Amino acid sequence: METLILPTDSSELAKEAVNQAIARLRNGEVVALPTETVYGLAADALNPEAVARIFATKERPLFDPLIVHIRRADALATVAAVPGEIEKEINRLTQEFWPGPLTLILPKQPVVPDLVTAGLPTVAVRVSAHPIFSRIVRGLERPIAAPSANRFGRISPTSASAVLEELNGRIPLIVDGGACSCGLESTILRVEPAPEGKGKPLFHILRPGPVTADQLKEFGKIVKPRPPRPAESPAPNPEAPGMLASHYAPATPLRLLHRPEDFLPAPGKRYALLSYRGDPKDGFVDRHDWEEIAILSPGAGKLPEAAVRFFFLLRQLDRLGIDEIIAEPVTEVGLGQAIMDRLRRASARKLDP
Ligand code: AMP
Ligand code: MG
């Protein structure tokens, strides 16, 4: 199959790309679409055959449920049944953060195929803020299931060229909407009613992302997440199916080091550094004659900039053919929590080496 990339640089081109994407989605095909988080591999969420194609294309295990994208908050009831006890909080959250990178876990409506939710009674829902994605989901007039447009376990794509690298020949169409403005996957939140109906509802952040715990805390009580499960532990985590300890991984081994002095290069091996600020004061830059130093936020150390560049740089380092990527930690506050989550998963030992 030939993979076509359609640009959206002018209003005519955008119209053409939007129309072609809608026609293919109606036809039960899968297409890659831009969102503000990462590129998504989209299919009609209510068509089980189309959804099955997402899993096949990504080689994604069927136990890993998909996020369903709706056109607007007022379409929520079509895919999810919001429990009365948390209706007020859900409304406040959707008003504040939708459209945007917040995914809510809610009881599903029967119309959502079990394949989408991996057999769970809940569904993950969000409204994308990307103008092109938004036009497509409105034009289709059906919800869209769209996980990240990469092969399973690999680095999420934040540009059309990164999607091509992942899925060339496997999908008919990539709509090029430019680089993703967040660069990290959405925050996933499960809201639990306040214990005995008193006080704030409990917020379980199942995946940290662009909407930070700091932003969420005025709406509910953040329940401290469990420490990430080691890759070798066989026990599934029912809170976050599919959130494997090893994920977002480059093919090159990646090691997250907290102290520069812990880096002891092996003779003859080639290393690259993924640095937060590229500042020798951080102690990693001067440690070694690196094959390459990729800097997440040159100079200033700004977390949003680091988030946007994260997967892009990881992909770039992965192409070097070196022995190992050494990653410096970033400040673990706000967006830094989401970046550190991805770095830990990228560095975790693989389940299936
Ligand atoms: P992706 O679309 O690749 O960003 O992955 C979506 C992630 O959302 C999955 O890996 C799950 O961890 C999470 N997810 C989707 N549906 C549910 C659900 N019903 N309950 C909990 N987590 C979910
Ligand atoms: Mg993914």
Q: Is the CB of residue 147 below 6 angstroms from any atom belonging to ligand 1? A: yes
* Cα(23) to centroid(ligand 1), Å: 26
Q: Is the CB of residue 240 below 6 angstroms from any atom belonging to ligand 1? A: yes
Contacts of 335 (CB under 8 A, 6+ apart): 184, 210, 212, 303, 304, 306, 307
- Tell me the C-alpha distance between 43 and 173, whole Å: 12
What is the chain's length?
353
* Cα(147) to centroid(ligand 1), Å: 8
Output the tens digit of pLDDT for each of the chain's 353 residues.
Answer: 999 999 999 999 999 999 999 999 999 999 999 999 999 999 999 999 999 999 999 999 999 999 999 999 999 999 999 999 999 999 999 999 999 999 999 999 999 999 999 999 999 999 999 999 999 999 999 999 999 999 998 999 999 999 999 999 999 999 999 999 999 999 999 999 999 888 899 999 999 999 999 999 999 999 986 665 555 444 455 566 667 776 778 999 999 999 999 999 999 999 999 999 999 998 999 999 999 999 999 977 799 999 999 999 999 999 999 999 999 999 999 999 999 999 999 998 654 43
The number of the ligand 1 atom at minimal distance from the alpha carbon of 148 is: 3
Which one is the CATH code of 4-176: 3.90.870.10, 3.40.50.300, 3.20.20.70, 1.10.10.10? 3.90.870.10
Listing DSSP states for 318-332 in one string gives HTT--SEEEE-----
Q: Is the CB of residue 241 below 6 angstroms from any atom belonging to ligand 1? A: yes
Q: Is the CB of residue 33 below 6 angstroms from any atom belonging to ligand 1? A: no
**Which ligand ends up closest to the CA of 103?**
1
* Cα(186) to centroid(ligand 2), Å: 10
Q: Do 79 and 45 contact (CB within 8 A), yes or no?
A: yes
- Tell me the C-alpha distance between 152 and 154, whole Å: 6
Pick the closest to residue 65 from 206, 227, 235, 208 (CA basis).
Answer: 206
Domain ranges of the chain: 4-176, 254-347
* Cα(290) to centroid(ligand 1), Å: 36
Q: Is the CB of residue 153 below 6 angstroms from any atom belonging to ligand 1? A: no
**Which ligand ends up closest to the CA of 151?**
2
Domain 254-347 has CATH 3.30.930.10: no
